[in-house]
Amino acid sequence: MPESHPTRRTVLGAVAATAAAPLLAGAPAARAAARRGDLLFVSPWKGTQIYGARFDADGGTLTSLGPVGDAPSNWTAPHPARPLLYVGSSEDGGIVHTYAIDRTTGALTRTGTAVRTDEGGTAGGGISHLGVDRPSRALLVANFEAGLAASLPLPKGVPGPPVSVVRDTGSGPNPRQNGPHVHHVTIDPSGRHALVADFGADRVFVHGFDRSTGAITPGTGSYASAPGSGPRRVLFHPRGRTAYVLNELSGDLETLDWRDGILTPRQRLALDSDAFTGTKSGAELALSGDGRFVYASSRGENVLVVFAADERTGRLRLVQRVPSGGLKPWSLTLHRGGRWLLAANQASGTVTVFAVDRRTGALTAAGDPVAFPAPACLTFLDG
């Protein structure tokens, strides 16, 4: 399949065109959008404001609502049932904030108490990922700068002080790997293990997890990726016997066998094409609801990569590399209906909507990119 990639001039031209669109809810188009579609939050990396948008899943149309709340954002995650948004910050202390969401306007109001996840003294950098484990009602925190994984209880939806904090050790050959830097925490399908992707240690650590308390308990096992890989994300196939690990520094995706808390390598596939000679940078990973397709983003070649997953073995086959519609696709998210994928292009300041071919998994850009300031995280309101 032939591949094409946007030049910087083309991308920035698209940004200039979309930037002229009204961003404030006072504009007629934005007021109309506020009354329909799914609410989406767009947050910059180390930003000071979070932006709202409405997504119309009938036509794949994304409309910006402008800034909806002041927040020191690194990463955001929604409560699965309540109108609450958790914001992981770059503030010293690895602080998590909670915001109440106005479902009509998207406006955010800070509520509850800010929760610290480390002792401070890390000079910022902070939190790299948040996720909610619904069965245990725990908020899982990846604190990159402090090199720790934490879990916070969610009584009435508002996080309390950590019920567990786990620190691992290790480093890698890259100058950015001077110590442990946790990038992602996820729970395995059995609910008995917490997997921690540690960018700095070149490992995926396997810890225990107690769903009755939401506590992560230190384990003894780990999977060692190749030196200098920089593990960033871990996802499980719905069948529960295959895990996928996205490596940032080496820009590749590993398929691993998962049995009894042990990860065993089976496959390793590059995100970028053979012709790419620049700096590799794997960024985000997503899985279709039926487990048939895996989606990844590369900030190296500025592409989204589609893989088909074998239903029986979980092994991957390349389907497509497609330009992300901008520069540095920091994250991507699938709409819950499965028909659309949205990509946040941080360096070009755009979010691109892609139509998903449900039969092949292939992506097709739908309309022009929409302008947002340095978008890094995309979060739909689930509740």
CA distance linking residue 119 with residue 17, whole number of Å: 45
Amino acid at 132: V
- Write out residues in the chain with pLDDT < 70, as ranges: 1-35, 123-124, 383
Amino acid at 61: T
Q: How far is CA 370 from the centre of its chain?
A: 19
Q: Cα separations (Å) of 176 from 171, 173, 215, 243, 371?
A: 9, 8, 29, 25, 30
pLDDT at 96: 97
pLDDT at 125: 72
pLDDT at 220: 86
pLDDT at 121: 85
pLDDT at 35: 54
pLDDT at 26: 44
CA distance linking residue 379 with residue 374, whole number of Å: 15
Neighbour count for residue 41 (Cβ, 10 Å): 27
pTM (2 decimals)?
Answer: 0.90
pLDDT at 10: 39
pLDDT at 112: 86
Q: Given the structure tokens 């958790």, which residue do they identify?
A: 86
Question: Which helix or strand (DSSP H or E) is residue 136 part of?
Answer: none
Q: Which two tokens stand for residue 308?
A: 């088909």
